[in-house]
């Protein structure tokens, strides 16, 4: 199979130590430690105007996002670790990674395609979660290229997932692009395959607009452009129904996250861990807004995907992250743009099957504001 065509124009390879487009846009790099397999990992810093991000080739992972508050002070607003060893430790809960081949859950770790039943790793109760145990996309080393499009700093990670990896069919060529521009932070995913196979990619950043290491995210406010969601069974697998959001699940209007969360503590989700069915529309459209009124930071999530998984950090347990800061229970949220969970086993859901000769594409934009 031919490699994926470049989505952006390559300016230099990963060996380049820096790129300067203008006075406000740049890319630099430094070592990020040694993986357990002996492979060195690299961290790239992308800067554009008043926004900076760090990304690494381990799991094509977003490591840091430094955004200004109302006073103009930059603060890191996502959870993560200081080097690659943290991302290979038990403390890591998919922080900032590219998640797949199929993000979210697949019931009982199996699906049938073209008359053959494929068996995947069981790593979340009785189910398959986020692509598997050992060679899911968050755990592998990706190749990197620094890219340029005018004054937009960007980096493109690529990986070939071989036929049978984690039980999935087909050789899958995947690209994950992080790009900054005047609009904000772009996540761009592409994939091609030589066999029919399910694909559903997302970024798994944990957001706290007070700054990573803050004690809670329950004081943030959230609005989601969804009137429907996909109810689940006790193992968080969709039942196949699509129902109206009601009570504590209703974020169709702006609400404080912690205002009603305790109504869900005794449920299987143990808080918020729900797939919202975004309002229909073509192309990129607004999906959600997260506010921190105390410091003025806000993010808007814009996507071309049909769903958004809202997760309230219910399994964070005080593990130590960047600078030795603890990450307490419910101290960050995930807003994962996606196709619906278990779509490969749910014929009424939008299909996640990628055909040979087609190109999978998924786009998400995070817009930042500080007032």
- What's the CATH number where 130 sits? 2.70.98.10
Alpha carbons 207 and 61: distance in angstroms, whole number: 14
| pLDDT score, position 371 | 81
| pLDDT score, position 13 | 32
Q: Within its chain, how far is the Cα of 29 from the centroid?
A: 22
The low-confidence residues of the chain, meaning pLDDT below 50, are 1-22
Task: Give the count of domains, the chain.
Answer: 1
By the 8 A CB rule, do 106 and 128 touch?
yes
The phi, psi pair for 238, rounded to 5°, reads: -55, 140
Q: Is residue 288 part of a domain?
A: yes
Alpha carbons 324 and 367: distance in angstroms, whole number: 29
Q: Is residue 186 part of a domain?
A: yes
Which residues lie across from 48 on neighbouring strands?
25, 51
Q: Is residue 3 part of a domain?
A: no
Alpha carbons 129 and 93: distance in angstroms, whole number: 12
Q: Is residue 1 part of a domain?
A: no
Q: Is residue 2 part of a domain?
A: no
What is the pTM for the complete model shown? Answer: 0.93
Closest CA to 325 of 58, 53, 101, 78: 78
Q: Is residue 349 part of a domain?
A: yes
| pLDDT score, position 148 | 72
Range 28-37 burial, b when 16+ CB lie within 10 A, else e: bbeebbebee
| pLDDT score, position 23 | 53
CA-angle at 365, arms to 96 and 201, nearest 5°:
50
**128 catalytic per annotation:** no
Look-up of token digits 């974020």: 251
- In the numeric block, which tokens belong to residue 135? 């060679």
Taken in order 72, 77, 81, 84, is the CA torsion positive or negative?
Answer: negative
- Strands 40-48 and 25-34: what pairing? antiparallel
Q: Is residue 47 part of a domain?
A: yes
DSSP state of 2: P
Among 130, 204, 220, 274, the one annotated catalytic: 204
| pLDDT score, position 150 | 66
- In the numeric block, which tokens belong to residue 343? 């779509």
Other C-beta atoms lying within 10 Å of the C-beta of residue 24: 15
Q: Is residue 308 part of a domain?
A: yes
Number of residues that make up the chain:
371
89's enclosing H/E stretch is none
By the 8 A CB rule, do 130 and 100 touch?
yes
**204 catalytic per annotation:** yes
Q: Find the DSSP H helices in 311-363.
A: none
By the 8 A CB rule, do 334 and 205 touch?
yes
Structural domain for 322, as ranges: 9-369
Please give the C-alpha separations between residue 308 and each of 123, 287, 289, in angstroms, as whole numbers. 22, 8, 12
Alpha carbons 133 and 370: distance in angstroms, whole number: 39
What contacts 118, CB < 8 A, 6 or more positions away? Answer: 110, 111, 112, 167, 168, 169
């Amino acid at each position: 199979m031919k490699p994926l065509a470049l989505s952006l124009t390559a300016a230099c390879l990963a060996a380049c130590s820096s790129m300067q487009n203008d006075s406000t846009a740049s890319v630099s790099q430094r070592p990020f430690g040694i993986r357990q397999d002996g492979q060195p990992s690299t961290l790239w810093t992308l800067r554009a105007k008043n926004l900076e991000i760090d990304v690494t080739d381990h799991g094509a992972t977003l490591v840091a996002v430094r955004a200004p508050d109302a006073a103009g002070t930059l603060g890191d607003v996502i959870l993560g670790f200081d080097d690659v060893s943290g991302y290979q430790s038990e403390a890591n809960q998919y922080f900032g990674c590219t998640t797949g081949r199929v993000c979210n859950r697949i019931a009982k770790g199996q699906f049938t395609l073209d008359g053959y039943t494929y068996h995947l790793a069981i790593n979340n109760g009785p189910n398959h979660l986020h692509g598997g145990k050992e060679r899911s996309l968050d755990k592998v080393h990706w190749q990197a290229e620094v890219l340029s499009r005018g004054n937009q700093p960007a980096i493109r990670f690529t990986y070939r997932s071989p036929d049978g990896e984690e039980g999935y069919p087909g050789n899958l060529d995947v690209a994950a692009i992080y790009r900054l521009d005047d609009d904000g932070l772009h996540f761009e995913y592409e994939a091609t395959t030589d066999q029919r196979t399910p694909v559903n990619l997302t970024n798994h950043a944990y957001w706290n607009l007070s700054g990573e290491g803050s004690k809670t995210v329950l004081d943030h406010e959230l609005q989601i452009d969804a009137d429907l969601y996909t109810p689940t069974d006790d193992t968080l697998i969709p039942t196949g129904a699509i129902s109206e959001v009601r009570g504590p699940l209703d974020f169709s209007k702006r609400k404080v996250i912690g205002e009603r969360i305790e109504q869900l503590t005794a449920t299987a989700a143990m808080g918020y861990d729900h797939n919202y069915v975004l309002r229909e529309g073509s192309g990129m459209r607004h999906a959600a807004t997260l506010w921190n009124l105390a410091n003025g930071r806000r993010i808007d999530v814009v996507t071309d995907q049909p769903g958004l998984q809202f997760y309230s950090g219910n399994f964070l347990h005080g593990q130590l992250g960047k600078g030795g800061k603890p990450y307490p229970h419910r101290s960050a949220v995930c807003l994962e743009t996606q196709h619906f969970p278990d779509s490969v086993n749910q014929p009424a859901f939008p299909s996640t099957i990628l055909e040979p000769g087609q190109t999978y594409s998924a786009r998400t934009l995070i817009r930042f504001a500080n007032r």
